[in-house]
Chain A
Amino acid sequence: MKKDIILAGVGGQGILSIAAIIGYAAVESGLFLKQAEVHGMSQRGGDVQSHLRLSSDEIASDLIPQGKADMIISVEPMESLRYLPYLGPQGWLVTSIKPFVNIPNYPEMEQIMQQVEAQPNHIALDAETMAGELGSVKAANMVVLGAASPFLDLDYEKLEKAIHFVFGRKGEDLVQLNLNALKAGRDYAEKHMN
């Protein structure tokens, strides 16, 4: 088993929580893991990315080679396109379609969606609205993770367990919110996979 995943978004959108949850589930599954994060300058509203690699064999590079990623998981639509050079021909693009506009020249949404839909394997969902309906837009990242979960080759229960572990300290309400968000994303993906 090998899964190379690019996580994308804007600083503060919670991609590191996605990484932490997949990471925890992967370690629970006895897999090797490497995860390169971005810290520092790029976190102040700039674009952020993380390379997450899971494998049953030992992993060499901390960075994913271009053209080799199995998946791009993005919490922002334009950011999902920034890393297309990494996506392999069979790879999945899973992204939220809610734009984060903090630059004056943000492109037309229509053009962005055209590019997203041009990908042979993609799931595009309004994670923010879905999370809002569940109680808080802050859980949008977990909706996106849920939508990516069918392609991760990790037991769904392990992801749930990871949510308990990562959010446990912050209270039971938050755990439940994130579990619901995960499920909503998962259901959406299962309906729209083909």
Chain B
Amino acid sequence: MQKLLLLGDEAIAQAGIDAGISGIYAYPGTPSTEITEYVISSKEAKEKGITATWCANEKTAAEAALGMSYAGKRAMTCMKHVGLNVAADPFVNSALTGANGGLIFVVADDPSMHSSQNEQDSRFFGKFAMIPVLEPSSQQEAYDMVHFGYELSEKYKVPVMLRITTRLAHSRAGVVRKTQREQNRFKLPEDLRQFVLLPGIARKKYQVHLKLQEDFQKESANSPFNQYFEGKDHSMGIIACGLAYNYLMENYPDRNIPYPVVKLSQYPAPLDMVEKLYMQCETILVLEEGFPMVEEMLKGLLNKGKQVRGRLDGSIPMAGELNPNIVSKALGFEQDPITPVPSLVTPRPPSLCKGCPHIDSFVGLNEAIESFGKGRVFSDIGCYTLSALPPYESINSCVDMGASITMAKGAADAGMKPSVAVIGDSTFTHSGITGLLDAVNAKSNITVIILDNATTAMTGGQPSSALNRIEDICKGVGVEEDHIRVIKPLRKNHEENTRILLEELNYDGVSVVIPRRECIQTLNKRMRAKFKSANTNLKNSKQ
């Protein structure tokens, strides 16, 4: 079989193509973005007619995937961990409707917050919805689990979660492909009320779902991804979840671990295996990426059993991702002295690119708002969030996508004036429009600045879903036309832009200012592509 060198994300995408998906739906978010990107640019996927699209947000993406599953075909939806908060409603409820065609939610967590607001652990969401969760320890396992996950999903007609973390998502390794499966044919659910969660029906479906838990337990016990390794030294037993298994192995170069080990990669946690380890060993060490989920389950509320070690007792730090050194310490190995980072090395935080349109917008806003004082600008998530740092220090919040507009409304209701929201074009369509409608309905006194750089820049320049339609949307929502102002954020327009911003800050009611200029990075990319195709045309015409 063909072996490819793939990122964890790419392995999942290739596996989706090979396992016969008919569609993949997502909103970008690090570290999940490359999954959908891979399918979108895959020739093979195109030939197979696989639908691969960016959606307005994670909720719309998850629902489209569920709809495809309704129609009998295999679907995948991908998101970062906080994206699952947005898609939580379809996620949790799809556990009850169940699937028709196989359905996988791929959720990429970001412990250590490399590019995120928090480090929530999506396994809890899987437990909450009571569906099987697969957590790969390697790129190969990630690939294999997609195939396995669709079989599991179609066998029990439930959605399955594939949980990965940053290190797996963005690390490359060799992956061997499996035989390809055909896509499913269009096929309606046998029971046409399967997806109708009216209380009377939902109650019955819930009973069925509760019964399925026994099956999921059996599946976990027999899973090829969960294994029990015997060991002679019973002073300690180790449970290594997902990627943590690699860090454990790294500490035993000869791969001989003296202690019994449970390699745990499919949830619900297999009771028999865990119990055997617990009975056999004097203490238990739990290695898991994310929150201490398994550790907490083992300890129970009262913690009156054996000593269980992990994040909760400080054997492993509570925050941040694991690495081989943290695991080595927890295993009790002596630590070699480490050369420290020389004190002269200074942090180098990311910053807005040279020539970025956001720079001109914030320089203008800073000047326009100066007379009112600091602390009145709610913001959102995107490249522009970097304006919280020097030299701009323009914004005062970054919470969750869309929150700038709604928080500005709340603060305006509390009497703050002016109350400003700064939001990117992609974030606006992700979840800003509904908030703007709230503000219009309440005649709130807010100014919304929609930074239109014509792309979703933060995550690498995916298309913006309301390209060239931002004003129409604002109008449609009910913002007065006179108070929808488009400006071009360029240094030479600084004075005029500042004046327009100031006028709208002073307006009583909902006003929208749209600074519009393309992101420098996507502009350069486009120009290079144009130049290249012009060159090839030239060459071709010469032949």
Check: A194 CB closer than 8 A to any chain B CB: no
Check: A27 CB closer than 8 A to any chain B CB: yes
Chain B residues, Cβ within 8 Å of A43: 350
Chain A residues, Cβ within 8 Å of B338: 66-67, 85
Chain A residues, Cβ within 8 Å of B114: 38, 40-42
Chain A residues, Cβ within 8 Å of B250: 60-61, 65
- With both beta carbons as reference points, the residue of chain B lying nearest to A2 in the complex is identified as B253
Give the residue among A65, A67, A85, A108 with the most B Cβ atoms within 10 A.
A65
Kindly supply a per-residue 1/0 record for chain B positions 212-255, scoring 1 wherever the CB is within 8 Å of any chain A CB and 0 otherwise: 00000000000000000000000000000001001101100000
Chain B residues, Cβ within 8 Å of A82: 341, 345
Check: B61 CB closer than 8 A to any chain A CB: no
Check: B324 CB closer than 8 A to any chain A CB: yes
A residues 28-43 with Cβ under 8 Å of B? 32-43
A-B contact count (CB 8 A): 136
Contact B249 A60 (CB under 8 A): yes
Check: A168 CB closer than 8 A to any chain B CB: no
Check: B351 CB closer than 8 A to any chain A CB: yes
Chain B residues, Cβ within 8 Å of A33: 5, 172-174
Contact B341 A44 (CB under 8 A): no
Contact A62 B167 (CB under 8 A): yes
Partner of B30, one of A39, A45, A78, A103: A39
Contact A65 B115 (CB under 8 A): no
Provided the pairs A67-B338, A81-B345 are in contact, do residues A40 and B353 lie with their beta carbons within 8 angstroms?
Answer: no
Instruction: Tell me the smallest distance from the CB of B351 to a CB of chain A, in Å.
Output: 5
Chain B residues, Cβ within 8 Å of A23: 5, 172
Check: B328 CB closer than 8 A to any chain A CB: yes
Chain B residues, Cβ within 8 Å of A103: 346-349
Check: A175 CB closer than 8 A to any chain B CB: no
Chain A residues, Cβ within 8 Å of B353: 44-45
Provided the pairs A39-B31, A45-B350 are in contact, do residues A115 and B344 lie with their beta carbons within 8 angstroms?
Answer: yes
Chain B residues, Cβ within 8 Å of A46: 348-351
- With both beta carbons as reference points, the residue of chain B lying nearest to A111 in the complex is identified as B344
Contact A39 B170 (CB under 8 A): yes
* Bound form: Cα–Cα A43–B344 in Å: 22
* Bound form: Cα–Cα A41–B80 in Å: 14
* Bound form: Cα–Cα A11–B383 in Å: 15
Check: B325 CB closer than 8 A to any chain A CB: yes
Chain B residues, Cβ within 8 Å of A65: 250, 323-325, 328
Instruction: Tell me the smallest distance from the CB of A136 to a CB of chain B, in Å.
Output: 15
Chain A residues, Cβ within 8 Å of B383: 44
Contact B344 A36 (CB under 8 A): no
- With both beta carbons as reference points, the residue of chain A lying nearest to B346 in the complex is identified as A105
Contact B346 A61 (CB under 8 A): no
B residues 21-56 with Cβ under 8 Å of A? 30-31, 33-34
* Bound form: Cα–Cα A61–B383 in Å: 32
B residues 148-205 with Cβ under 8 Å of A? 167-168, 170-174
B residues 98-125 with Cβ under 8 Å of A? 114-115
Check: B7 CB closer than 8 A to any chain A CB: yes
Chain A residues, Cβ within 8 Å of B350: 11, 41-46
Kindly supply a per-residue 1/0 record for chain A positions 101-119, scoring 1 wherever the CB is within 8 Å of any chain B CB and 0 otherwise: 0110111100110010000
* Bound form: Cα–Cα A64–B170 in Å: 15
Check: B339 CB closer than 8 A to any chain A CB: yes
Contact A61 B5 (CB under 8 A): no
Chain A residues, Cβ within 8 Å of B328: 65
Contact A34 B346 (CB under 8 A): no
Check: A126 CB closer than 8 A to any chain B CB: no
Check: A130 CB closer than 8 A to any chain B CB: no
Partner of A44, one of B30, B336, B352: B352
Chain A residues, Cβ within 8 Å of B336: 67
Check: A177 CB closer than 8 A to any chain B CB: no
Check: B332 CB closer than 8 A to any chain A CB: no
Check: B368 CB closer than 8 A to any chain A CB: no
Chain A residues, Cβ within 8 Å of B459: 40
Check: B386 CB closer than 8 A to any chain A CB: yes
Partner of A107, one of B170, B173, B246, B345: B345
A residues 141-178 with Cβ under 8 Å of B? none
Contact A47 B324 (CB under 8 A): no
Check: A134 CB closer than 8 A to any chain B CB: no
* Bound form: Cα–Cα A37–B171 in Å: 6
Partner of B348, one of A10, A40, A111: A10
* Bound form: Cα–Cα A55–B475 in Å: 60
Check: B340 CB closer than 8 A to any chain A CB: yes
Chain B residues, Cβ within 8 Å of A106: 346
Check: B342 CB closer than 8 A to any chain A CB: yes
* Bound form: Cα–Cα A107–B174 in Å: 40
Contact A34 B340 (CB under 8 A): no
Partner of B339, one of A35, A79, A85: A85
A residues 50-75 with Cβ under 8 Å of B? 51, 59-67
Check: A84 CB closer than 8 A to any chain B CB: yes
- With both beta carbons as reference points, the residue of chain B lying nearest to A64 in the complex is identified as B324
- With both beta carbons as reference points, the residue of chain B lying nearest to A80 in the complex is identified as B345
Instruction: Tell me the smallest distance from the CB of B525 to a CB of chain A, in Å.
Output: 13
Chain A residues, Cβ within 8 Å of B352: 44
Contact B345 A36 (CB under 8 A): no
Check: A87 CB closer than 8 A to any chain B CB: yes
Partner of A62, one of B5, B30, B246, B458: B246
Chain A residues, Cβ within 8 Å of B30: 39-41
Instruction: Tell me the smallest distance from the CB of B424 to a CB of chain A, in Å.
Output: 14
Chain A residues, Cβ within 8 Å of B243: 62
In the complex, besides A46-B349, A61-B324, A64-B324, 5 extra interface pairs with C-beta distance below 8 angstroms are A27-B174, A61-B250, A82-B345, A102-B351, A115-B344
List the 3 closest pairs (A to B, CB-CB), nearest first. Answer: A40-B115, A46-B350, A40-B30
Q: List 5 A-B contacts (CB under 8 A).
A: A64-B324, A67-B336, A85-B339, A103-B347, A107-B344
Q: Residues of B with Cβ closer than 8 Å to A?
A: 5, 7, 30-31, 33-34, 114-115, 167-168, 170-174, 243, 246-247, 249-250, 323-325, 328, 336-342, 344-353, 383, 386, 458-460
